Amino acid sequence: MISTLYIEKEVLEEKRVLDIRQRFDHLETIECEHYGEIFNRKAQNFRLQKQNPALILAKKHKGFVLPAPESYGIGGDKNYYFSHMMNCIYDCRYCFLQGMYRSANYVVFVNFQSFADEIRKISEQHVDESVYFFSGYDCDSLALEPVTKFIDFILPVFEKLPNAFLELRTKSTQIRGLLDRPALDNCIVAFSLSPDNIVKSLEAKTASLEKRIDALQKLQSKGWLIGLRFDPLIYFDNYKEEYTNLFEKVFAALDVDRIHSVSLGGFRMPEKFFKNMVKLYPEEKLFASTLEEDGGMISYEKNLEQAMLEYCENELLKHMPKEKYFPCF
Amino acid sequence: MLNIVCALHCEAKPIIDFYKLSALSDCVFPIYSNEQINLVVTGIGKVDTAAAMAYLFTKTLEQKNSAWLNYGIAGHKNAMLGDWFNVNKITESSTAINWYPSRFQNIDCLTASLKTVDNPVSLYEPEKLYDMEASSFMSTALKFSGIELIQLMKVVSDNEESHLVEINKKHVQKLLLKNLDPLISMIAVLQQHKKDFDEIYAVDDFYMNLLEKWHFTQYQKKEVERLIQRWKAICNKDDTDGLEKCQDAKQVIAWYKMQLNEAQVMF
């Protein structure tokens, strides 16, 4: 899975780095000055790199926690996001990361304490409000947990912050660490879900829909709050039937009372990222559909998008109360 | 195409012979070619390397995104003379800029970082190779190609126990001929990577045929190229009857758009 290890000189001797290095002692290890020398350089091909990605261990110096985009929210007063990792081990064709980053290599920022300090500081600034922190924005929150152990580190931090909520966003079944510890009331484990044909066609290397539902069930049975993220909705000829089946299957397997939130969103992408993605995957069906640009964003043609969102919203609300529903459009 | 860059003729000779490369006539920098490989002999140092690579690129009418390989002799503190290394990091000593060539999984060869110096050195840092061209090769190759198609191989010609006072052509050739396998393997791997790259990104035959048949403006060329890609992704590729009846580029574009509007998207 990981082909090479790059390590910034500054963190070479850090305990966390030494632990990760031990795990990958069979890999070629190369010292670098700054992760950007590898990650940000021009003339890289994301698609080719994705075949043999490297892991870069680095230190983040600023911007640990950032305000979340406007449409991001699942009921909190304030919304922030943070990324202890850049890039994802999965290969979802609709993912904006492949259009945003030049490199498909994974960067893990090993100074976890700096993230924790910033989260604590922001939570204390809004002590009378609920502050949500989203962790799965630039990576999958759980997929590389066996290597990074970030969740293991950050959950005790949230345990002591009553007004702070953590959303873990994932398509992974790496939930052992969560199942082995008491559930936190302020942590939501949110799974991205798509119909089976979309998982198979567009979400390469991810856990199957069945396995994700199984993971959700296990988490619920251990008391964890869960979230369901039907985002992005993908158009195809019989989407109505497939999304109806998906909602029925998911809600039949879960206790609605222990679902924290459900969200729905259409396929949308900044135009610049979309152009990069088309260059990388010119033959991709998803990008061959009828899409249009509006205000610098690419999405399905307006009437189609509206029809899809309305249909799926109506279907969803047959299974759950409206208070838990948070549209992302 | 694979473009090979080396500083000295004595370094180039074993590869010229192995691949039966023929010399191009009237060249400022010596160039040797066959159908798959171009090799340029640059001379020593960064300026000559960059100049020779640019010369090769224009002289042979090379396209962007060819594969590029630099090989040649290098110094090392304690490696054995004749040891081959695949370079994983290049540092230009005069600027402290670093480059990191892509790592290939199927290469059975030692790896090391390398420092490009402006003058020969006799004191070596441990575990590092020394040469006088690699940084220039890397920065120039990146103008013509992506990092996934660029590699460097070095064979140790001198170490702390055996300094290279002056380059002995016979000695260099002997070092290379002693074990050419790592270099030949790298050439094969790079050629395969280039082939894989072309399978994804080569210009579409269908598109080229259209350009031959009808006149397209530059804008229309871009438009129809993308329409063909989309059409191939979601339409029935056997159904081209209507296309044959088109009179001009406008009608071709309209035909593709109509096909796409009627297409069913299935996953």
Residue A264: name the closest of A227, A233, A296 by CA.
A233
A150, A84 contact by CB (below 8 A): yes
Chain A: give the shortest CA distance to residue B108, in Å.
12
Residue B79 phi/psi, 5-degree rounding, is: -70, 155
Q: Which residue's entry shows tokens 């080569």?
A: B202
User: What pLDDT score was predicted for residue B203?
Assistant: 84
Contact B265 A237 (CB under 8 A): yes
Alpha carbon of B141 to those of A257, B158, B174: distances in Å? 59, 26, 28
The continuous run of DSSP H or E covering A322 comes out as none
A260-278 CB burial, b ≥16 within 10 A, e <16: bbbbbbbbbbeeebbebbb
Separation between Cα atoms, residue B76 and residue B71, nearest integer Å:
15
Query: Is any Cβ of chain A less than 8 angstroms from the Cβ of B233?
Result: yes
Q: Both tokens of residue A234?
A: 């993908």
Residue B85's pLDDT band, with cuts at 50, 70 and 90, is: very high
Alpha carbon of A208 to those of A94, A194, A201, A325: distances in Å? 17, 10, 11, 24
A115, A157 contact by CB (below 8 A): no
Separation between Cα atoms, residue A45 and residue B149, nearest integer Å:
10
The nearest alpha carbon in chain A to B264 belongs to A237
Residue A4 phi/psi, 5-degree rounding, is: -145, 150
Q: Both tokens of residue A155?
A: 């959950």
Residue B164's pLDDT band, with cuts at 50, 70 and 90, is: confident
User: What pLDDT score was predicted for residue A69?
Assistant: 86
Instruction: Please list every residue in chain B whose beta carbon sits closer than 8 Å to the beta carbon of residue A197.
Output: 267
Query: Where would I find the beta strands (DSSP E) of chain A?
Result: 4-8, 28-32, 55-58, 65-67, 78-82, 85-86, 91-92, 106-109, 131-134, 164-170, 187-192, 203-204, 225-233, 259-266, 268-270, 291-294, 297-300, 325-327
Residue B162's pLDDT band, with cuts at 50, 70 and 90, is: confident
Q: Return left, alpha or beta for B264; rule: phi > 0 is left, psi -120 to 50 is alpha, else beta.
A: beta
For residue range A109-162, what is the model confidence (pLDDT) as tens digits? 999 999 999 999 999 999 999 999 999 889 999 999 999 999 999 999 999 999
Q: Which residue's entry shows tokens 């290379």?
A: B176
User: What pLDDT score was predicted for residue B160?
Assistant: 87
Residue A142: name the closest of A185, A179, A97, A117 by CA.
A179
Q: Which residue's entry shows tokens 């191009």?
A: B24
Residue B22 phi/psi, 5-degree rounding, is: -105, 145
For residue range B203-244, what is the model confidence (pLDDT) as tens digits? 888 899 999 999 999 999 999 999 999 999 999 877 888 888
Separation between Cα atoms, residue B6 and residue A26, nearest integer Å:
32
Beta bridge partners of B38: B3, B33
Burial group, residue B120, by CB count within 10 angstroms (0-12, 13-18, 19+): middle
Alpha carbon of B20 to those of B11, B41, B52, B169, B211: distances in Å? 15, 16, 21, 20, 36
Separation between Cα atoms, residue A323 and residue A75, nearest integer Å:
9
What interhelical angle do A112-125 and A150-159 show, nearest 10?
30
User: What pLDDT score was predicted for residue A109?
Assistant: 98
Separation between Cα atoms, residue B89 and residue A38, nearest integer Å:
10
User: What pLDDT score was predicted for residue B63?
Assistant: 85
The size of the A-B interface in CB pairs under 8 A is 86
Query: Is any Cβ of chain A less than 8 angstroms from the Cβ of B258?
Result: no
Chain A: give the shortest CA distance to residue B226, in Å.
8
- Using a cut of 0.90, tell me whether the model's pTM lies above it: yes
Burial group, residue B20, by CB count within 10 angstroms (0-12, 13-18, 19+): exposed
Instruction: Please list every residue in chain B whose beta carbon sits closer than 8 Å to the beta carbon of residue A283.
Output: 229, 232-233
Residues of A with CB under 8 A from a CB of B: 3-4, 6, 28, 30-33, 37-38, 41-45, 47-49, 52, 54, 197-198, 200-202, 234-237, 278, 282-285, 287-290
In degrees, rounded to 5, the angle at the alpha carbon of residue B263 between the alpha carbons of residues B258 and B264 is 160
Chain A: give the shortest CA distance to residue B20, in Å.
31
B132, B44 contact by CB (below 8 A): yes
Instruction: Please list every residue in chain A whose beta carbon sits closer than 8 Å to the beta carbon of residue B229.
Output: 282-283, 288
Q: Both tokens of residue A214?
A: 């199984």
pLDDT at B165 over 80: no
Separation between Cα atoms, residue A88 and residue A205, nearest integer Å:
10
Contact A237 B260 (CB under 8 A): no
For residue range B167-200, what is the model confidence (pLDDT) as tens digits? 789 999 999 999 999 999 999 999 999 999 999 9
Contacts for B99 with CB less than 8 Å, ≥ 6 apart: A37, A41, B89, B90, B135, B138, B139, B142
As a whole number, mean pLDDT of residues B104-123 equals: 92
Beta bridge partners of B69: B4, B151
User: What pLDDT score was predicted for residue B205?
Assistant: 87
From first to last of its 329 residues, chain A has per-residue pLDDT tens of 899 999 999 999 999 999 999 999 999 999 999 999 999 999 999 999 999 999 999 999 999 999 998 878 899 999 999 999 999 999 999 999 999 999 999 999 999 999 999 999 999 999 999 999 999 889 999 999 999 999 999 999 999 999 999 999 999 999 999 999 999 999 999 999 999 999 999 999 999 999 999 999 999 999 999 999 999 999 999 999 999 999 999 999 999 999 999 999 999 999 999 999 999 999 999 999 989 999 999 999 999 999 999 999 999 999 999 999 999 87
Q: What is the mean pLDDT of chain B?
A: 94
Q: Both tokens of residue B8?
A: 């000295």
The nearest alpha carbon in chain B to A196 belongs to B267
Beta bridge partners of A107: A56, A86
Query: Is any Cβ of chain A less than 8 angstroms from the Cβ of B98?
Result: yes
HEC string of chain B? Answer: CEEEEECCHHHHHHHHHHCCCEECCCCCCCEEECCCEEEEECCCCHHHHHHHHHHHHHHCCCCCCCEEEEEEEEEECCCCCCCEEEEEEEEECCCCCEECCCCCCCCCCEEEEEEECCCCCCCCCCCEEEECCHHHHHHHHHHHCCHHHEEEEEEEEEECCECCCCCCHHHHHHHHHHCCHHHHHHHHHHHHHHHHHHHHHCCCHHHHHHHHHCCCCHHHHHHHHHHHHHHHHHCCCCCCHHHHCCCCHHHHHHHHHHHHHHCCCCC
Report the SS3 class of residue A185: coil
Q: Both tokens of residue A170?
A: 């994932």
Give me the sign of the Cα torsion angle B134, B137, B139, B145: negative
Q: For the residues of A82-116, what is the DSSP string, one character each?
A: E-SEES-SSEETT-THHHH-S--SEEEE--HHHHH
User: What pLDDT score was predicted for residue B166?
Assistant: 74
Chain A: give the shortest CA distance to residue B102, in Å.
9
